[in-house]
Structure 1
Amino acid sequence: MKETNLYEGVKKYFESLGFLVRAEVKDIDVCAIKEDLLIGVELKNNLTVDLLVQGTLRQKVCDLVYIAVPRPKRFKKNREFSNTLHLLRRLELGLLFVDVDKGMAEEILEPAYFNLDKARSALVNRRKALLKEIKGRSLSLNQGGSSRTRLMTAYREESLKAVAILLEKGSVAPKDLKELGLKSTILRDNYYGWFKKIARGTYVLDDCKSDDYECYRDYISEFRSVLFLM
């Protein structure tokens, strides 16, 4: 498909809003002007990094900038699409989907100022959780870019410390973990199924689950050597 096929739909869209529309003005694919408002539109067959770069360059001279692409044949509002809209919002770019067959354009996203401080304040709890996870790790065992692999989280690390204590002591109570600086709920929650309650307030390791933490044997040994055991 030629990019020129997108022009008619974009032209009709802005003309319906009372804009004067002109094409190929000083390297800008489409310009729309109404009173003192100047809008630039970049036309492309695909939403690419180059297109985003072009859009941000047009912001130097235009009040608002849209990027226009053909409407996807199998359009779904999924996570990938939401992430794309987030990126466009961050760049303060608008998005138009063009139905070439009908010669019509639809505004998917209006270009607007992006308030980063406001966006961060809305996710303050997620930020706190991120910082808590970072501070909760004493080891750096994960490799950046990993996927579909078992990761060492702060919770897993703390659970392994509980395993180290149980290997040393045989049985412990939640208060024993708390005195050593661990969460007392680790044993009760038993997220990984490594622990077994044998009496009220008393836990031991579940031997049937030992294979699950065997791969961390070296780290468990390290924890045993540094923890102050009762």
Structure 2
Amino acid sequence: MAPMAETDLALPVKAFLEGLGYEVKSEVEGCDLVARRGDEPPVVVELKQRLTLGLVLQAVDRLAVAELVYLAVPAEARRDTGPYDRRVRKLCRLIGFGLLVIARRTGRPTVEVLEEPGPYRPRQDPRRRRRLLREFDRRQGDPNIAGSTGVKLVTAYRQAALRLADVLNRQGSASPRELAAATGITDAARILQRDVYGWFARLERGRYTLSPAGFTALDAFRGSFAGVDQD
């Protein structure tokens, strides 16, 4: 049986957390999966094809933004190696990590909880935590696939720019104030002026339209953002 890719690990873990009542989003501020349930603290899950020092170090970094961090790896054929090794489980308990194992012995992947996150509380970075929560709250839906590499991630900022581009595509041109009113994006003027992606063209002072790159982006990212209803 071929080894499971990181993107194959993401879906069963996401479904597992959603079954516990969490809302789950992928690739948020460098974290593979971030889950939230009401006002509870966020849960971060880091995925890897095998248990490595790199995964542990990555999870240590995530403790700066979340108290509840899980490692998630595929199951091993033997019950005394990899995530099942008692030394690995002891390490997780010492640091405070949770440990998830994804198995597909019956064809359909299942998630087993080997360890729950413990009470370890390192000094957190409030600024990074605020960034993570802000990105999670502002992002619409879950447009990315956890574990993806070599693809452009859809961030909340990119979604906002796409929503502005969508309105310009329908109307032809508009002012920042008109776009802010149509989309509810209060910083529409700043997004247009910065034009990070090269999607907008200024027709005249205070009037914008789409650039050729903007039309291409709307096609490329269609379905990755919520469009604006038109009366």
TM-score where L is the length of structure 2: 0.46
- TM-score normalised by L of structure 1: 0.46
Q: Pick the structure with greater CA Rg.
A: 1
Structure with a larger share of its residues in helix:
1
